[in-house]
A and B are shown apart, each in its own frame.
Chain A
Amino acid sequence: MRTLISILVANALLFSGAGFTADIDAQKIADLKQQLADITEELDDLNSRVDKTERHTALDRIQITGDFRTKAHSLHFQNVTWNPAMKVNFSDFGAKAMSGAFGDPSSATSPLGKMMAANPELAAAFQSGMLQGVMPYVLAPQTQQDIDNDILYTTRLRLDLKAKVWDNVSFAGRLSMYKNWGDSTGVKVFDSWNSFTMDGTSSGNTSGDWLRVERAYFDWKNINGSNTYLSIGRRPSTYGPPSHYRENEMRGGTPSGHLVNFNFDGATLGYNLGEITGIEGQVVRFCYGQGFESQFGNGEMFGDIITKDTHLGGFNIDVINDGTNFLQMTLFGAKDINDGFKGTMAFPTQLAGIFAPTMYQDMQKFENFNFVTRVQPSGVIGDMFLGGLGYARETENDYKWFASIGWTRAEPNGNAGLFGGMLNDAVFEAELNSTGTEIIMVPKETVDTDTKDGYGVYIGMQMPAPGGKFGLEYNYGSEYWTPFTQAQDDPIGSKLATRGHVAEAYYIFDINPRMFIKLAGLYYDFEYTGSGTPVGAPQKVDDVIAGTAYSMLPVVDTAYDVNASLTVNF
């Protein structure tokens, strides 16, 4: 730079007109010298400043962006029914009772005598021969109520991390906090699978003021000059298309949000097929992950492990992604699914009343105490498959619409835990406890081992509107619809996991490109129980309300969520 200026000045001096007087020339040279000195001084100053920014850039290896959302919900649940029962093999019970395995029925101190005294109606029905084969053993009287949570505030903070490791290697991560106001316990009283703090759903269920690692992975692209990439870590498997439109953000994850919205640890091997076919954005991906670790940190002191690792794998193909058209195909399989996950919960007193009378006696003295307990599954209940096809279109005028169809298949293996087997109820058999003092019910098998197919549809549109955007969405899930979308952060539960109908309307006011207000209303109409869990047989909600079907956990008939949120991206 200095050399250039010197040459320019020299040129200027060389070609300055000879007709000028010596005085004027001398004056000019003096002026130019002064200017050159000023420029040199300015350059020295700039150099020292650029050195600082260059050093700062070199040392600042990670880019942090994020978003902050505060949301107010008004939640209303209709016909919340609790009608708990278990299916008991009474023929087996009768045979054991008659053989004297449970002691003398006429003795008040025998296990059978105690049970009959505690359940007089059941005893009468049994003695009159009304209980044969597999029948429900009612655990508590039916309760029914409407629940109104007029106001529930939540705060979500997400910090996105990006780092360039090398020309073709990058790191991405996201730290996420999602809490409801006034609560940082990290656990909820267990009244549904949404109230279970666990690895796969911790980003989408309120769990206190902890920053959790929602995702962290590297991308190694163009491996060896090819179109192949490898990515390993905690996957970007939440907020995928087309569920990102309602979030007013760009595609938030790799897999279809209609089928997967769940934190997974795993790997993706992808191939940018579009480089060969010429179809923009065409990517074929093989994804692999582990959803459950059966050994490390599990079991009882020294093994005693009857669960298995849950592995899943499959294909996630972006057929086209050109900014206007998006078509995605998904096909996944999950092997050795257990009857739950590792997680923590606050133990509900009602369950102690049903299953643990001895413990319940003391728990009554501490009405407002719940003990926090770590739960692990009890066994493998089968395999699952998921498939889907989703299409989204964004027009030049900013109109967006999408349609997605999904399919889930459950293949039960006949095993069952306390809450059932794979989309199947457990059949319990009576046994004596280890001390021979009490009859306990032990889940033995599932009602059947038939394959269960479920399907779901998800359609929606978003259009420009005064001040922002207006959107409408609808989704439906059939009786056996069981996607992995439990991390979707709707407080009533993942709307896309609903076995029934959900309609949503929203209006987004774009305050500026980095800030928006969203007003939304969601209406849920549950047709079958157990939305979002592969454990237990779905029951018709109307039958549970009518008292002809049972559910170990409370059942919601209809619900609506009216909410307003303010989101700031930074």
Chain B
Amino acid sequence: MKINLKVAIAMALFLSLGSQAMAAEGGNPKKGKHLYKKECKACHSVGTEGPELTPMAKTMSQWDRFFKRDQHKAKPEVFKALSEKDLKDIQQFLYDHAADSDQPQTCG
């Protein structure tokens, strides 16, 4: 009983100190995926203006660097047309699915 009480107190403390778990960059990857398909894939697919692109094209830190420093230098107006929130969501999606991110472990 004493142990149970201690565990309960420890949990209560932990919960009181805990905060909502945030993704690495605070974006919403689900929204980001939708935006990526709509905004990015239009130019970055087979036979389009830009080179074909997938999230696996860069590592997590390379995507972060791309959004922080490069900011789509090749065509800056593309980024300027998107809100900060949209860019964060896209960045989160690409980060979560980058070459060195955790991947589903299936065949094929």
Contact = CB atoms under 8 A, between A and B. Distances in A.
Co-assembled chains A and B: yes
Interface of A: 160, 172, 174, 217, 219, 221, 229, 231, 235-236, 239, 249-254, 268, 270, 272, 283, 285, 323-324, 394-396, 464, 466-469, 509-510, 513, 519, 569
B24 interface: yes
B interface, over-half SS: loop
Q: Which of A174, A253, A272 has the most CB of B within 10 A?
A: A253
Given A323-B30, A394-B30, A509-B14, A236 B21 contact: no
B18 interface: yes
Interface residues of B, number: 20
Contact of A217 (B21, B30, B104, B107): B107
A268 B108 CA distance: 8
Contact of B103 (A231, A250, A253): A250
B104 A270 contact: no
B57 to A, nearest CB: 14
B58 to A, nearest CB: 16
Interface in B66-108: 102-108
Contacts of B28: 396
B105 A468 contact: no
B18 A468 contact: yes
Contacts of A253: 105-106
Nearest to B103: A250
Contacts of A249: 102
A318 B88 CA distance: 30
Interface string B13-38: 01101111100100010110100000
A466 B102 contact: no
Contacts of B107: 172, 217, 219, 229, 231, 235-236, 254, 268, 270, 285
A219 B17 CA distance: 45
Interface in B1-57: 11, 14-15, 17-21, 24, 28, 30-31, 33
B15 A467 contact: yes
Contacts of B21: 464, 467-469, 510
Q: Which of B18, B33, B108 has the most CB of A within 10 A?
A: B108
B36 to A, nearest CB: 11
17 contacts: A174-B105, A219-B108, A231-B107, A231-B108, A252-B104, A252-B105, A253-B105, A254-B108, A270-B107, A272-B108, A395-B30, A466-B15, A466-B19, A467-B14, A467-B21, A513-B24, A569-B102
Nearest to B102: A250
A251 B106 contact: yes
Nearest to B99: A63
Contacts of B15: 466-467
Contacts of B105: 160, 172, 174, 236, 239, 250-253
Contacts of A569: 102
Given A251-B106, A270-B107, A323 B20 contact: no
Contacts of A250: 102-105
Given A236-B106, A268-B107, A272-B108, A323 B33 contact: yes
